[in-house]
Amino acid sequence: MSNSRLSRCAVWGLAALAVPVVAEAQQGQGVVTGRVVATGTNSPIAGAQIGVEGTVLGARTGPDGTFILTSVPAGQRTLRLIRLGYSAQSRQITVVAADTVQVNFALAQSAVQLSQVVVSATGAEVQRREQGTTVSTIAVADTVQLAAVQNFSQLVQGRAAGVTITQSAGTLGSGASIRIRGSNSLSLSNEPLLVIDGVRINSDAASSSIGVGGQSPSRLNDLNPQDIESIEILKGPAASTLYGTAAANGVIQVTTRRGRAGAAQWQAWTEYGQSENVWDFVSNYAVLDSSGARRPGGLPGVAAGTIQFGSLQEFNPLANSDIVRTGDRRQYGLSVSGGTPQATYYISGDYTDETGIYRTNSQDRVNLRANVQANVSDKLQVSANTGYLSSDLISPQNDNNGLGVLGNALLGNSNPASSSGGFLAFDPIITVPFRVGQDLERFTGSTNANYRPMSWLNVIGTAGLDVLNRTDFSVLPPNTILTSANNRIGSRTRNQRQVASYTATGTAIGTFNPLPWLQTTSTVGGQFLRENFSGTNASGFGLLAGSGSLEGLSERFAVGEVNQDERTIGFYARQQFGFNDRAFLTASVRTDANSNFGTNVGYVTYPQVEGSWVISEEEFFPQQTLMDQFRVRAAWGQSGLPPTFRTAFEFFTPTPVRVQGVEIPAFTIGGPGNVALEPEVISETELGFDAGFLGGRLGLEFTYFSKIAKDAIVARRLPPSQGLTATQLSNIGELANWGTEWLLNAQLWTRPNFALDATVNFSTLNQNLNSLREGVEPIIFGLGGDSQRHTPGYPMGGYWGAPYTFEDTNNDGLLSRSEVTVSDEQEFLGSPEPARVLGLTLNASFLRNFRVSSLIDYRGGHKLLNSTEEFRCGFGNCQALNDPDASLFEQARAIAATSSSGTIAGYVEDADFVRLREVSLTYQLPVSFANSLRFRGASF
């Protein structure tokens, strides 16, 4: 090896320990300007990224497609240009000191994006062609302009293969859960990791300490879609190894908007909409016998001859209540961006005022963001990104709740003259003064430094925090709801929480070309993570009339405090070999220590290996127009999920006891701990290919994945004789998920006056609980306590119930209880996870200024428990147990569910659906007319 090569390796080794401060000799500098347009139409392309290889210099094109790069070192330079949806370009230029170079680009649309870059766990940008895994990218700037997207969940839904989002409810402010390639854990969270501008942030799917029946806000929807530039989704351990512990469920990377060099660009937007209940509320029913007496649920008795049918009584209490209304949404926003080639900025503000369809449901939100970026030199780029949210949410009483709106109606009665007016206990309009809500203040900030002291060495540092202060509250004025003594005297609860997440990451990357056909990239780095959760609880009863504070309480005060501190330190390394820029082999490893691991567990190591080969660029690949791009890829990797706080450690809970009439302090065992408790380690294998057809007009991606979790954490029952808690968490399970993903991008028609493109993503999913440790019984849970199970040999969380048969022996169209037979054995009824998911996006542009966009979503191959109807039949007010016109199937499942050996089998229903999620028509004001109004552009 040459002395110069040895010198470089020595410096590279030192760079792993400290940031180099030695710089190359100062060179002369020049300026590069230009314009980027679309091939064929010559229309400007905004948002294209231009970078100078070997430096940190970069810029984005403005609305007119222009860009400018200053402080470009003189000499031969390579410009790299990328834009999602277009073919990437690289161009060699000569920069002359103190001179300006004009470079224009014409980009052709392309359905294949092998040269598109994504942000890696190290903070560096990596081209897709180098990766052995698939990464889904959502161009938010384009998506938001085409549809009235209200929150982050809607932004992601239906736009990425293998990603499923389920709303917890339809009410305003309710959260959503995200599953990427199925569920990985029986006991831990299955939510993906969320990273914004390099900083991990809190994304709890259920974030509230006061229940209203099952609904809860999600921190995921705190993000403002208007401030997001792009979203990248890493779908499993094969892609997320370098993110370490907590990344096994996948990673969602969010990049917020950046400014562009040039004069200040102001953008204003406003939105108004309405939300209405489109569901016909079901009625309550009862049989009236021949004497006119009400006999709820009496239809089986009519069939058996014990009740003489007179008539059917039907009443819909919600149709006669004022609790449901038309909700509305108002949004106002303003942003400004611009700057110089040396420093750019983006500043925005957004206010949203919404009311839901229930009179007890509303939300006000203020989002603010300020991002700045500076090219200190051609070697150093720094940026700072800050976001602030203020939210006031009022949630309705609903779901499984004695004060719930729907519960009181659906479990009510058919008699409008009853004291409750047909409701279960009361008309829920009286709950309007009962306020349950959440006030939130949230700040997210990050700083990033990208330093390239030499052309072959890049050092990246990122630090940031995410702090949210949350107040969960409820105020029930006295003498408002008189259903119980506690409600009559009023109550007040105020729980304050602070959740703070801190991230610090440092990475050094060295790139070498030891041979003309060989490129090597070596990466080392480390990361520190901390999440601190603290809070206080206060509540009581006997609220003074006219008071809404804790000081107005007079009895049964209760206080509490919670503190949690979780920390992770990790180190990682990555080595990549590139062969002629078309074949790549990469090996990575990360090792983590986490404060939630058992005391007998030290560092846990996660390895990964991946390969990618762009075969279509080889000389032996036939030159043809049908298939002009083809790449194969493969990857294997591991990642983890840490145990939850304090489950690995024994701890005690204080409690007062009386000894001989005297109260003294005592302790009970709060948790037995487990010194050997390890993280759940999930291994994933991913295989696939990318193909381009017809000159980039058609792109196809295929992926097969297989995930296995061999250390699944399960709550194991403990013998009562041990005197400990009922369960202890242990690594005793093995789970498996496997399936396929397909992505098809097609530019169906491209003309100046008409263009049509389509995107189809389709995925399949299979799940299985391979095993539980010997002696561990199937885990039973779910609505009713036993509707779902984790059973070896079956999908996780599958529905189970006893099958039943029925026969209308006298052919009278009615079933008696003796004509329905319920089995003594339980059987598997189906999985709640969709086995097939499809998303179809269509965009059409016509007459130059009009655009139509639509999104269709399909899910199939799964089941859902219709617990609402099962509950109603249990109360005797459903149609199946009262209406002689009810089908035999409806009668049979109701009788089976309400029999002495009741079964839910009839209410586990096929959950397949096709939904038109979005459709929009956008009109772009002609540029000349917009300019006459002193606007650069406007759309409706």
The DSSP symbol for 849 reads T
Q: How confident is the model at residue 537 (pLDDT cuts 50, 70, 90)?
A: very high
pLDDT at 724: 66
Using an 8 Å Cβ cutoff, are 884 and 814 in contact? yes
Average pLDDT, integer, range 790-804: 94
The least confident of 27-36, 276-285, 549-558, 893-902 is 27-36
Q: CA–CA distance from 690 to each of 12, 125, 134, 632 (Å)?
A: 35, 20, 9, 7
Q: CA–CA distance from 522 to each of 13, 18, 616, 647, 685 (Å)?
A: 10, 16, 27, 38, 23
Q: How confident is the model at residue 40 (pLDDT cuts 50, 70, 90)?
A: low
Measured CA to CA, the distance from residue 368 to residue 385 in angstroms comes to 11
Average pLDDT, integer, range 544-565: 92
Structure tokens, 897: 């569910």
pLDDT at 94: 87
- Say how many Å lie between the first and final Cα of the chain, rounded: 64
pLDDT at 4: 40
Average pLDDT, integer, range 70-99: 82
Using an 8 Å Cβ cutoff, are 313 and 280 in contact? no
Write out pLDDT tens, residues 733-784.
899 999 999 999 998 888 878 889 999 999 999 999 999 887 778 888 887 7
Write out pLDDT tens, residues 617-661.
899 998 887 898 899 999 999 999 999 888 888 777 777 777 877
pLDDT at 12: 36
Q: How confident is the model at residue 145 (pLDDT cuts 50, 70, 90)?
A: low
Question: What is the rounded average pLDDT for all residues in the chain?
Answer: 88
Using an 8 Å Cβ cutoff, are 216 and 400 in contact? no
CA nearest neighbour of 529 among 479, 579, 571:
571
Structure tokens, 37: 């347009």
Write out pLDDT tens, residues 873-917.
999 999 999 999 999 999 999 999 999 888 999 999 999 999 998
Structure tokens, 608: 């990964």
Write out pLDDT tens, residues 479-505.
999 888 999 999 999 999 999 999 999
Q: How confident is the model at residue 19 (pLDDT cuts 50, 70, 90)?
A: very low
Look at strands 827-830 and 836-846 and give their pairing.
unpaired
Average pLDDT, integer, range 89-110: 83
Strand partners, 879: none
Average pLDDT, integer, range 14-43: 60
CA nearest neighbour of 91 among 519, 82, 108:
82
**Residue scoring higher pLDDT (26 or 377):** 377
The least confident of 617-631, 693-707, 920-934 is 920-934
pLDDT at 867: 92
Strand partners, 136: 233
Backbone Cα Rg of the chain: 31
- Single-letter amino acid code for the residue at 473: F
Average pLDDT, integer, range 693-703: 90
Q: Please give the full DSSP string across 123-191, using - where no structure is assigned.
A: S-EEEGGG-SS-EEEE-HHHHHHHS---SHHHHHTTSSTTEEEEES-SSTT--EEEEESS---SSS--P
pLDDT at 146: 58
pTM, two decimal places: 0.88
Q: CA–CA distance from 862 to each of 545, 778, 835 (Å)?
A: 51, 21, 6
Residue holding tokens 């050094």? 508
Structure tokens, 863: 């089941």
Q: Which residues of 450-470 are buried (b: 16+ CB within 10 A; e: fewer)?
A: bbbbbebbbbbbbbbbbbbeb
